Amino acid sequence: DAKTTQPNSMESNEEEPVHLPCNHSTISGTDYIHWYRQLPSQGPEYVIHGLTSNVNNRMASLAIAEDRKSSTLILHRATLRDAAVYYCILRDFSSGTYKYIFGTGTRLKVLA
């Protein structure tokens, strides 16, 4: 699977939008972009995923660059509960492999 690069940590104020970037310059045409998060002392939790178009769900929005070499997870109004490690993962649907590889992610700190 192609590699992703994320900042180690970010801070945000409560109730403000947060933009979490992910670079994936070696992405292939068959890679889905997945985002997961891990709250303290919990298992990873799915946030959102997309292929080419921007995606919205109740948790977040995913903005994908036109060349797909980067993406941004957008939390519209950060809450204290959003403090977590956020992982950007590429998932190749044509490779025949069956794994999602987690990197070190971005630790988001939300300030009250």
Residues forming contacts to another protein in the complex (CB under 8 A) are 32, 34, 36, 38, 42-46, 49, 87, 91, 93, 97-105
Tell the smallest beta-carbon distance from residue 27 to another protein (Å).
14
Q: Burial code of 40-58, b = ≥16 C-beta within 10 A, e = fewer?
A: eeeebeebbebeeeebeee
Closer residue to another protein, CB minimum distance, 6 or 70: 6
Closer residue to another protein, CB minimum distance, 13 or 95: 95
* Distance spanning both ends of the chain, measured CA to CA: 37
Tell the smallest beta-carbon distance from residue 37 to another protein (Å).
11
What one-character-per-residue DSSP string does 18-60 give? EEEEEE-TT--TTEEEEEEEE-TTS--EEEEEESSS-EE-SS-
Tell the smallest beta-carbon distance from residue 1 to another protein (Å).
10
Closer residue to another protein, CB minimum distance, 1 or 14: 1
Closer residue to another protein, CB minimum distance, 79 or 97: 97
Tell the smallest beta-carbon distance from residue 43 to another protein (Å).
4
CA distances from 105 to 1, 9, 72, 88 (A): 16, 8, 13, 7
